[in-house]
Chain A
Amino acid sequence: MRWLFLKDLQILRRSPLVTVLLVLYPVAIAVLIGFALSRGPEKPRVAFLNEVPSDTPLVVGGTEFDITGAKSELCSRLDCIPVSTEAQARDMVESGDALAALILPPDLITRLESLGGLNPTQPTVRVLVNEEDPVKAGLVDDRISSLVTQANLRISKEVSHISANYLTLLTQGGTFNLLGQTLNILGLNNTERILERVRADLPKDSPVADSLDEVIRFARLAGQNLDQAKPLLASVAHPIAVDKEVVSGSPPNLDSFAIAVAATVTLMFVTVLLVAGSLALEWEENAYPRLVRGLVGRSALLGEKVVLGVALSLAVTLLMLAGLSLFVDIHWGRFPAMLAAIVAGGAGFAAFGAAIGGATREVRASSLLAFMVSLPIAFISLVQSGTVSPGLFDVIKVIRAVFPFHPALDAMSGALDASGPSLGVPLLHLGILVVAYGVLARIALRRLS
Chain B
Amino acid sequence: MNALGDGEVVIETRGLAKRFGDREALKGVSFDAHRGELLAIIGPNGAGKTTLLSILAGIRDPDDGSVSRPPGEIGWVPQQAALYRRLTVEENLRLFARLEGMPDTEATVEEMLAQSALADRRHDQVGTLSGGNQQRINIALGLLTRPAVLLLDEPSAGLDPRQRERLWEFVLDLAGGGTTVIFSTHNIAEAERYGQRLLVLADGETLFDGTSGSLHAAVPEAGARDFEEAFVAFLRDRGH
Contacts and interface: CB of A to CB of B under 8 A. Distances in A.
A199 interface: no
Contacts of A289: 54, 59, 78, 82
A285 B141 CA distance: 14
A286 interface: yes
B141 A290 contact: yes
A291 interface: yes
Interface string B44-62: 0000000000100111100
Contact of B58 (A291, A294, A296): A294
Interface centre among A287, A292, A296 (most CB of B within 10 A): A287
A75 to B, nearest CB: 61
Contacts of A295: 96, 99-100
A230 interface: no
B100 A286 contact: no
B85 interface: yes
A446 to B, nearest CB: 11
Interface string A290-332: 1111111000000000000000000000000000000000000
Interface string A367-391: 0000000000000000000000000
Contact of A286 (B54, B58, B81, B96): B81
Give the interface size bracket for A toward B: 10 to 19
Interface string B142-161: 00000000000000000000
A274 B88 CA distance: 21
Interface residues of B, number: 18
Contact of A290 (B60, B73, B78, B85): B78
A287 B83 contact: yes
A290 B58 contact: no
Contacts of B54: 289
B94 to A, nearest CB: 14
A286 B57 contact: no
Nearest to B101: A295
A285 B83 contact: yes
A285 B91 CA distance: 15
Interface string B206-220: 000000000000000
A290 B100 contact: no
B170 interface: no
Interface in A401-449: 449
Contact of B84 (A285, A293, A449): A285
B62 to A, nearest CB: 14
Contact of A285 (B58, B76, B82): B82
Contacts of B76: 290, 293
B187 interface: no
Contacts of B68: none
Interface string B199-235: 0000000000000000000000000000000000000
Nearest to B58: A293
Contacts of A294: 58, 73
Contacts of B59: 289, 292-293, 449
B128 interface: no
A345 to B, nearest CB: 29
A328 B59 CA distance: 54
Contact of A291 (B57, B81, B85, B99): B99
B2 interface: no
Contacts of A286: 78, 80-83
Interface centre among B76, B78, B81, B82 (most CB of A within 10 A): B82
Contacts of B83: 285-287
Given A295-B96, A295-B99, A287 B58 contact: no
B134 to A, nearest CB: 11
A91 to B, nearest CB: 53
A291 B80 CA distance: 14
Nearest to B141: A290
A290 B81 CA distance: 10
A290 B80 CA distance: 11
B80 A296 contact: no
A293 B61 CA distance: 11
Interface of B: 54, 57-60, 73, 76, 78, 80-85, 96, 99-100, 141
25 contacts: A285-B82, A285-B85, A286-B78, A286-B80, A286-B81, A286-B82, A286-B83, A287-B83, A289-B54, A289-B59, A289-B78, A289-B82, A290-B76, A290-B78, A290-B82, A290-B96, A290-B141, A291-B99, A293-B57, A294-B58, A294-B73, A295-B96, A295-B100, A449-B59, A449-B60
Given A287-B82, A290-B78, A295-B96, 4 more contacts: A286-B81, A286-B82, A293-B57, A294-B73
Interface of A: 285-287, 289-296, 449
Closest 10 CB pairs of A and B: A286-B82, A295-B99, A290-B82, A286-B80, A287-B82, A289-B59, A293-B59, A293-B58, A285-B84, A293-B57
